[in-house]
Chain A
């Protein structure tokens, strides 16, 4: 399996990249880490006329701390997120989840912008963007726009990103104090795509849940938020009956596929078990009293 022929364009700046994408009239792909794109080229699932290499653009690789948010450049590699002290401090759920992303050789190369743009329905980063209410900064030759992560993922391998647009930066709002997190994933083998994975974030006030966020991946056409489960947790204590009801709501929020790796029924069962574990960890880390 060898890739089809293409013209190779090195973009030295964001402006040059979006100019090249616009000039290609929809027949170009952005080459970032290439960890999903190149397999698709090797399989000839894609035959773009042009690849626009953005790896030489200075200033797209950063993890920056701001007062209200952390901003991550689109070219930031998975291994940088995995090992960043700033990410560990602000979003430990991301540090943990990143260790589940593929293998070191893939994490050395793959980028956050690439993973979000590719929108794999079993990947961790789209789920994290949803869980953390990220905002995506997108640019094209006709201007810049912002997209909320919750609106960005349209379907399996389908995102709200035109062929002439480039995802430049991801903005993660900082979490409040008294917040705990949990992450649980099952894959057939460490580093494989998740059969199911769940991230949970609980913020406490006066011993009760003030804000709840639960996101799932691997169990639907896109990563999902369990909005019904989140709503029932607010104002409550994580007692066993409520925990069971939240798990049921998580299972009801997803439409998993049956494939070679697992049946839809198994995935639906699994996502509930994992949601329970993630909620338990989030509750404990947020300082919730043992039930």
Chain B
């Protein structure tokens, strides 16, 4: 299949790569760019672990082909903060113990970033509905909801 050369701006840095059309954005980020913070769970859009921001909107990176996104801006969990300098949302997750194994965390963080931008999240029900597309197998969600609630109050 005909390879294509694309330029993607990921976390503010432009990357030029030549890729196969069938390469999923998630695999492009992890394999071609080495940005392994974006996790791959189900590969059919159900678990939410691979959620990133595309031009500011949350999307499943397992349901997009990198080749589609020439010239687009992607933000991954690596763009949120660093271990030494967590973003306020990451700090809220740390403060409220909103992770155990951490596998779902990058997707939770990117989803919550978009939710906080677009919705009032006035009630816990609304927060839960917003997070319902992201699966966590450890925490039972209570602490994740608490972290998003705290981030909402600090917004």
Contact = CB atoms under 8 A, between A and B. Distances in A.
A8 B58 contact: no
A43 B44 contact: yes
A190 B132 contact: yes
Interface stretch (A99-107, A119-127, A145-153, A219-227): A99-107
Interface in B49-79: 51, 54, 57-60, 62-65, 67-68
A51 interface: yes
B57 A108 contact: yes
Contact of B133 (A8, A41, A102): A102
A7 B133 contact: no
A31 interface: yes
Interface in B106-154: 111, 114-115, 118, 128-130, 132-134
A236 interface: no
Range for the number of chain B residues in contact with chain A:
20 to 34
A191 B133 contact: yes
B1 interface: yes
Interface residues of A, number: 30
Contacts of B111: 103-105
Given A2-B24, A4-B22, A103-B132, A108 B59 contact: yes
15 contacts: A6-B1, A8-B1, A34-B65, A39-B63, A42-B62, A102-B133, A103-B48, A103-B130, A103-B132, A104-B111, A105-B48, A105-B58, A105-B59, A108-B58, A109-B54
Interface of A: 1-8, 31, 34-35, 38-39, 41-43, 51, 53, 55, 79, 102-106, 108-109, 189-191
Interface of B: 1-2, 4, 20-22, 24, 27, 43-45, 48, 51, 54, 57-60, 62-65, 67-68, 111, 114-115, 118, 128-130, 132-134
